[in-house]
Structure formats: C-alpha cells, structure tokens
C-alpha cells in the first residue's frame, strides 16, 4: 500500500480540477486521500483549452446575462437555483485560484483579458493562452502537494464502495494489487464518459467509473443521455482521442466551411458558426448528408501568423504535428463526443442520495447546464460545486460521530480473464444509437446486447483488473444512457 494509511476522514476520487479543489477547501485538520487511476494530470481538466467563464468585468457584463446565456444554451432545461449559485459564486472561486493558488490567466495591462466563445453574449472567458486546463490543473496540484493533510496517490483506481455505519470501505487497485481503505466521507470527482464512444476529445480515464460505482450502491443517476458532441474536433485519420479545436478559434473569427470550402451555417441558423455546440453539430450532420461528404474545415488563416501563434500556440503546435499548418492550411474538423451534462444526481452541496457520498465535476449532475452546456461553464462548475461539497462535509464533521468500525468486506476472488471485444462492442453500440441524432431502433437492439454484456461482467467470475472495472463501467453507462433515450422517445 504505497503512500497510504488504512483510514482517512475524506477520500476524494479524482485529481482533476474538481478533486484537487475539493481537497484544497477542506480544513487543515481533516485527513484527505486523493486517488487518481493513472498519472495525476491525465484527466479532462488538463485538456481544457478555451477557459473558464465568470462575470469578472462588472462594467461590461452582468450575472443576469451569464445566466440568460446558459439558459439559452441549455434549452431552458437548467436547474435555475443551481445555475444562480454557479454564476453568483463562481467569480469568487476564479479570483481565489488566481490570487492565492498562483493560477495565471492572460492579462492586458492590469486587467484580466477576456475572450468570447459560442453562446456567450459578452467577453467573459478567462484563459491561459489555449491551455487553461493545464495551467489550472498543474497549479492546483502543486498547491495541494504543499498541504500536510492531503495525500495524493497515482495509479490507484477505485473499484467499488461499500457503505457502512460511519462511512465507507473503498476497494482500490494499486498497481494491480487490491487494497481496502476506510473513509468517513467520499467525494467522487471521476470525470466524464467520453470513452464509451469510439471517438472522443476526452482523456483515457473518462470511462464513467464513478457513475457506475455510485449507481451500484443506490445513488440516483440523472440525464446520462445528455451527451454533448463538440462540432469541431480535429478530424484525425487514426486514434481514439480527437484533439479539440476550441470554440475560441471560432470566437476569434475562424470560418466553418463545408467540403466546397463555403460557409454554410447561416443556411441553418442565423447565429452562424457561433451558435451553441449542439446546434452547430446538428447543422454539420445535416450539411454532411446534403453534400454527401464528412469533409469540413475551420479557416483562421485570415487572422495572420502572429495573431494565430500568439492566441493559439498549443492548437498551432498540435495541428502541425498532424501535418496541418493552421496559418496556411484549412483545419479538417468533424463532431465527436465531448462532454456529459448528466451524471450522479446531486443537491446544492453536491450531496448524493447515499449518505456521506458526494459527487462533483463532470461526473455529477447539478442541473446547471440543462440540455446542453455553454462553453467554459464546466471548469467553473467543477470549482464551485467541489467547494460546496466540502462545506457540507465540514459542517457534518463538527456535529457527527464518524469513522468506520466494521471490518472490510471480502475482496472478489474471480480469476477468469476479461473476454476480448466487450469494450469495442459497447462503443460501436453507442456510436450507432446516439451520435448527434438518436437512432431508436439501434438503441433498442444495442440495449439488449449491452444488458447481456453487463450481466456477464457482473456474474462471470472475472479477475479484478483495471480493464475489467472499465469494461463494467462502460457497459453500465451504455445501459443507463440507452434506457433513458428510449424512455424519452
Ligand atoms: C479537450 C477538452 C477541452 C475542454 N475545454 C474546456 C474549456 O475550455 N472550459 C471548460 O470549462 N471546460 C472544458 N472542458 C471540460 C472540462 O475540462 C471538464 O468537464 C472538467 O475539467 C472535468 O473536471 P473533473 O475534475 O470533473 O474531471 P477530470 O479532470 O476528467 O478528472 C477526473 C479524475 O478522476 C480520476 N478517476 C476516474 N475514474 C477513477 C477511478 N475509478 N479511480 C480513481 N480515479 C479515477 C482520473 O484519473 C482523473 O484524475 C474540456 C474538455 C475536454 C476533453
């Protein structure tokens, strides 16, 4: 058991922005374990490019406008109370990480520089060039490493939680070895589910483990079928992970072109290329059917080499690796899975239906996004609602007896190897049943197959490995999504 004790006050699962910011908000006398299933920085937070939205510039912006923009993007399906909390409290968190945790946002003189993204009516996106997530993740992790009460361990995967009086037993796999630790509270910050599809912008960790584990012990999971497809992922010829061409590129004037190199968005929506993501993705699919080709481009060449390299150094370098010089060439793009609006259903203190279990960040459903997330609202959500989880935990720790007194449950002893192909089958089911537009016949057939796979994974006596846990998570997520999709229809 490398670097861990047997018992902690709080177990935080995930070292992205939500997990690490939660750890940083707990009192110094609270013992905290943060586990990350791979390296600390392998997460969606690290990949975030565009930035974090917050009403900092009060002369030109207002909370009401940020709320209105979020409601429009979300199709008015948002939870208004949670959204008000997000927009009203968010600026404080953003200023705090900037002033007290050394997070560096781009500046113009002594003012923070704001950019514009699709769906925002004001320039309110704070950013660090085009690698905001990397800046936030690295600085927050560096801050957490300074704290004596926080232990952070890599390559340690949560496999299951067993609720008991006073807390949980958590079954972890560390370098393939099963370990059990006890905790009084657990905060799941395990991120999204992009890897349930064949192509995604998400990092390899995004297999929905936290959602599946919470579901298994009775937490409510809501709106898991609300998957966001980003319209402009780099259309690479190979590989599962699609590099994102951030909305900020369109925000700064890039044109979205069809195979004939013509702008086409105004044919479908008067907001053009800066319409919300779901709209742009649907328009691309419609245009794709009309033109009989999946070839689409972004064109930012007219902004000039200096501007492009200054504003989008990471995108420039990454595209160059793929053989595309964005100062001279068109950028090939196509939609793919990007973000999950639904998740483990939580209250305004990130509390789930299971006592002492909290969820924050992309794995949680706070309701702030409604049916479709407005760009750059998710890092803000990760900050605000992970902090709010710690308020509730701190309050309870002052008033309640905690600590697990029962012995740990038996560790599963299955020894069969995971059959090949289950994960690929699940991914293909999802792509056919629900990519930009749902296909209900494919969803019905896919649900039958996914249910069979999930059943086999639960009773088949398989060896406890990281691949096995991820396969079970993907199958669970697929089954929940398809059931919801069919119920909605
Ligand atoms: C390419 C890209 C660009 C984006 N750009 C933006 C943007 O500009 N602005 C914005 O607001 N949002 C953006 N997003 C979305 C945003 O980055 C994420 O929603 C947010 O960072 C999620 O943070 P998180 O802490 O919830 O999850 P993550 O950062 O994904 O962290 C999840 C953590 O959970 C751990 N984990 C998962 N399962 C287990 C397990 N079983 N056991 C142990 N650990 C586990 C992982 O190892 C990881 O440490 C972008 C997303 C992507 C993919």
Q: What is the mean pLDDT of residues 33-40?
A: 98
Q: pLDDT tens digits for 95-134?
A: 999 999 999 999 999 899 998 887 899 999 999 988 999 9
- For the chain, give the percent of residues with pLDDT over 70: 100
Q: pLDDT tens digits for 42-65?
A: 999 999 988 999 999 999 999 999
Cα separation of 249 and 256, whole Å?
10
Q: Which atom, in ligand 1's list, is nearest to the CA of 117?
A: 8
Checking if the pLDDT of 239 tops 80, the result is no
Checking if the pLDDT of 2 tops 70, the result is no
> What tokens appear for 348 in the block?
């305004």
Q: pLDDT tens digits for 435-459?
A: 999 999 999 999 999 999 999 999 9
Q: Which residues line ligand 1 (CB under 6 A)?
A: 13-19, 35-38, 43-45, 47-52, 132-133, 157-158, 189-191, 201-202, 205, 209-210, 244, 339, 361-362, 376-379, 382
Cα separation of 362 and 74, whole Å?
16
Checking if the pLDDT of 432 tops 90, the result is yes
Cα separation of 135 and 244, whole Å?
17
pLDDT band of residue 251 (cuts 50, 70, 90) is confident
CATH 3.50.50.60 residue ranges of the chain are 7-192+341-399
Query: Tell me, what's the pLDDT at 33?
Result: 98
- From 431, 467, 458, select the one nearest 446 (Cα to Cα): 431
Query: Tell me, what's the pLDDT at 291?
Result: 93
Q: pLDDT tens digits for 456-468?
A: 999 999 999 999 9
Q: Which atom, in ligand 1's list, is nearest to the CA of 194?
A: 53
Q: What is the mean pLDDT of residues 397-412?
A: 92
Q: What is the mean pLDDT of residues 263-275?
A: 91
Which is catalytic among the residues 124, 134, 195, 277?
277
Checking if the pLDDT of 396 tops 70, the result is yes
**What is the residue with the minimal CA distance to atom 37 of ligand 1?**
190
CATH 3.90.700.10 residue ranges of the chain are 233-336
Query: Tell me, what's the pLDDT at 1?
Result: 60
pLDDT band of residue 392 (cuts 50, 70, 90) is very high
Question: Measured in angstroms, how far is the CA atom of residue 221 from the centroid of ligand 1?
Answer: 18
41, 133, 211, 389: residue to mutate for ligand 1 pocket, most atoms within 8 A of CB = 133
Q: Which atom, in ligand 1's list, is nearest to the CA of 157?
A: 42
CATH of 412-489, one of 2.60.120, 1.20.1640, 1.20.58, 3.10.450: 1.20.58
CATH architecture of the domain 7-192+341-399 equals 3-Layer(bba) Sandwich (3.50)
Cβ-based neighbours of 221, under 8 Å, separated by 6 or more? 211, 214, 215, 342, 343, 344, 345, 365, 480
Checking if the pLDDT of 199 tops 70, the result is yes
Q: pLDDT tens digits for 137-166?
A: 999 999 999 999 999 999 999 999 999 999
pLDDT, mean over the chain: 95
- What does DSSP assign to residue 243? P
Query: Tell me, what's the pLDDT at 238?
Result: 73
CATH architecture of the domain 233-336 equals Alpha-Beta Complex (3.90)
pTM, two decimals, is: 0.95
Q: What is the mean pLDDT of residues 229-258?
A: 88
CATH 1.20.58 residue ranges of the chain are 412-489
Query: Tell me, what's the pLDDT at 107?
Result: 94
Checking if the pLDDT of 4 tops 80, the result is yes
- Run of H or E residues at 434: strand 434-435
| Residue 293 backbone phi and psi in degrees, to 5 | -155, 150
Query: Tell me, what's the pLDDT at 44?
Result: 97
Asked if 301 is an active-site residue, the reply is no
């Amino acid at each position: 058991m490398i670097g861990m004790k047997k018992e902690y006050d709080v177990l935080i699962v995930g070292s992205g922005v939500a997990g690490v910011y939660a750890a940083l908000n707990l009192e110094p006398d609270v013992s905290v374990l943060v586990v990350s299933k791979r390296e600390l920085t392998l997460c969606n937070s690290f990949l975030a490019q565009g930035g974090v939205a917050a009403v900092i510039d009060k002369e030109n912006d207002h909370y009401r406008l940020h709320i209105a923009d979020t409601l429009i993007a979300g199709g008015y399906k948002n939870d208004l109370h949670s959204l008000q909390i997000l927009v009203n409290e968010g600026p404080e968190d953003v200023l705090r990480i900037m002033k007290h945790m050394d997070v560096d946002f781009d500046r113009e003189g002594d003012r923070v520089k704001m950019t514009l993204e699709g769906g925002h009516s004001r320039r309110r996106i704070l950013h660090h060039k085009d690698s905001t997530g990397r800046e936030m993740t690295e600085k927050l992790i560096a801050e957490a490493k300074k704290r004596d009460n926080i232990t952070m361990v890599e390559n340690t995967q949560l496999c299951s939680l067993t609720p008991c009086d006073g807390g949980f037993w958590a079954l972890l796999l560390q370098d393939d070895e099963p370990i059990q630790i006890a905790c009084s509270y657990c905060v799941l910050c395990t991120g999204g589910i992009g890897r349930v599809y064949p192509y995604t912008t998400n990092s390899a960790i995004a297999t929905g483990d936290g959602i599946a584990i919470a579901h298994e012990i009775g937490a409510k999971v809501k709106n898991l079928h609300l998957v966001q497809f980003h319209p402009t992922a780099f259309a690479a010829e190979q590989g599962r992970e699609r590099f994102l061409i951030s909305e900020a590129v369109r925000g700064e004037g890039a044109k979205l072109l069809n195979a004939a190199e013509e702008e086409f968005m105004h044919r479908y929506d008067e907001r053009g290329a800066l319409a919300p993501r779901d709209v742009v993705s649907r328009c691309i699919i419609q245009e794709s059917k009309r033109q009989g080709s999946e070839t689409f481009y972004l064109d930012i060449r007219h902004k000039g080499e200096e501007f492009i390299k200054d504003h989008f150094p990471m995108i420039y370098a990454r595209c160059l690796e793929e053989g595309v010089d964005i100062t001279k060439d068109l950028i090939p793009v196509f939609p793919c899975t990007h973000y999950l609006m639904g998740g483990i259903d939580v209250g305004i203190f990130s509390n789930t239906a299971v006592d002492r279990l909290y969820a924050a960040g992309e794995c949680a459903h706070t309701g702030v996004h409604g049916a479709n997330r407005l760009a750059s609202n998710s890092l803000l959500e990760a900050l605000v609602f992970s902090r709010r989880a710690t308020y509730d935990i701190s309050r309870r720790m002052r008033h309640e007896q905690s600590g697990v007194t029962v012995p740990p449950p038996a560790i599963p002893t299955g020894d069969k190897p995971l059959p090949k192909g289950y994960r690929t089958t699940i991914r293909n089911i999802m792509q056919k049943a629900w990519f930009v537009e749902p296909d209900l016949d494919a969803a019905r057939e896919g649900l039958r197959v996914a249910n069979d796979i999930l059943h086999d994974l639960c009773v088949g006596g398989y060896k406890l490995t990281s691949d096995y846990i991820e396969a079970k998570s993907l199958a669970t997520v697929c089954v929940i999504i398809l059931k919801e999709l069919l119920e909605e229809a």
